[in-house]
């Protein structure tokens, strides 16, 4: 059976909280596990508002060292310590992030009751797998912002192909034999006939994929992260009327975000990181839909299933 995977945007504002919007953060959930992408000021309040358990967070991915994506992390780590966390935590981000955190009271490695594994990204890198389990990987690629910034792609590992039940019955296979074939093993059916997995099983099915692309102007890194993704969360700080401002500050317009999603063959686009100039993101959504129809504005603390049929 497919395993549901979803994201919960916690903050959709750019630079400062405005119009009820909070600073950048997003949680991805799968089988009781949680990954946190960025951790702007107020992330803990948003976690509580969304009914998400801090203790489930096993890794944090920080795009860059601007405060609206980072300043919630020291408080979150302090809360972990006060609550007696013992489970290890992985923190991925620019190499200097570890030094920034260790300078703060109470956040040195030897003062925390849990282990912190820092995965540093050096400016100039092109691609890296920064987190991996038996079930999924998270990769990073550089983005185009005023400072060194990385985007991330979560992707589950391919699932076995569907079993042709009629063919399996015709071969006289038992349940345990079918299970072995699904695991990639060869089995022996009646009359000593050797059966290979490909005889009853279709091609492997791709996993689900989520791309997290902010802060960034449109770039190859974002397109590669978004390639074929089920859901892309992309910077849409401005509308086209402020394209010059977007270029100056290293951000994207809503139209540019849509162009990235279209070029990447993504299935769905959520816009985020809205400038305080916009009381509502509706004009940005309208702009993007003229290029990529399956676009919405990310709504805070709402749950989005990566693949709705899972």
Residue 31 corresponds to which tokens in the numbers above? 């089988």
Rg (CA), the chain: 22
Would you call 310 a catalytic residue per the annotation?
no
Please check whether residue 252 is in contact with residue 288, taking contact to mean a CB–CB distance below 8 angstroms. Answer: no
| Separation CA 41–CA 34 (nearest Å) | 19
- Residue 134, number of CB atoms within 10 A of its CB: 5
Q: Retrieve residue 14's tokens.
A: 């750019």
Taking residue 15's Cβ as centre, other Cβ atoms within 10 Å add up to 18
Tokens at residue 193, please? 């006939």
Element containing residue 211 per DSSP (H, E): strand 209-213
Q: What is the DSSP letter of 65?
A: S
Q: Which residue has the tokens 């994506």?
A: 69
H-helix or E-strand spanning residue 45: helix 43-49
| 3-class SS of residue 124 | coil
- Cβ atoms of 60 and 84 within 8 Å: the answer is no
Q: Give residue 34's region: left, alpha or beta (phi > 0; psi -120 to 50).
A: beta
What SS3 state is found at 132? strand
Strand partners, 121: 94
Nearest alpha carbon to residue 10 among 270, 279, 257: 270
Marked catalytic residue, from 6, 68, 215, 230: 68
In angstroms, the CA 77 to CA 36 distance is 13
**Quick one: DSSP state of residue 162?**
P
Instruction: Please count the other Cβ atoms lying within 10 Å of the Cβ belonging to residue 158.
Output: 11
**Residues that are catalytic:** 68
């Amino acid at each position: 059976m497919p395993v549901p995977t979803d994201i919960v945007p916690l903050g959709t504002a750019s630079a400062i909280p405005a119009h009820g919007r909070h600073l950048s953060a997003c949680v991805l959930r799968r089988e009781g596990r949680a990954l946190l992408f960025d951790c702007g000021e107020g992330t803990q309040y948003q976690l509580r508002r969304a009914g998400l358990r801090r203790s489930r967070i096993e890794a944090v991915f920080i795009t860059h060292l601007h405060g609206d994506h980072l300043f919630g992390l020291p408080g979150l780590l302090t809360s972990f310590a006060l609550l007696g966390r013992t489970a290890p935590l992985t923190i991925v981000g620019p190499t200097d992030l570890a030094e920034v955190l260790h300078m703060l009271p109470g956040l040195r490695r030897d003062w925390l009751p849990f282990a912190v594994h820092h995965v540093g990204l050096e400016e100039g890198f092109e691609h890296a797998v920064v987190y991996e389990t038996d079930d999924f990987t998270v990769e990073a690629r550089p983005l185009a912002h005023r400072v060194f910034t990385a985007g991330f792609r979560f992707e589950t590992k391919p699932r076995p192909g569907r079993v042709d039940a009629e063919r399996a019955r015709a071969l006289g296979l038992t349940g345990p034999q079918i299970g072995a074939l699904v695991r990639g093993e060869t089995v022996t059916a009646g009359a000593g006939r050797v059966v290979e997995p490909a005889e009853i099983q279709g091609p492997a099915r791709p996993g689900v994929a989520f791309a997290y692309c902010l802060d960034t102007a449109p770039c190859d890194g974002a397109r590669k992260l978004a390639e074929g993704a089920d859901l892309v969360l992309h910077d849409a700080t401005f509308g086209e009327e402020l394209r010059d401002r977007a270029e100056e500050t290293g951000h994207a317009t809503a139209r540019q975000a849509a162009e990235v999603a279209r070029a990447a063959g993504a299935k769905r686009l959520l816009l985020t990181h809205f400038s305080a100039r916009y009381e509502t993101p509706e004009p940005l959504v309208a702009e993007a839909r003229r290029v990529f129809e399956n676009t919405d504005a990310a709504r805070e603390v709402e749950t989005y299933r990566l693949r709705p049929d899972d």
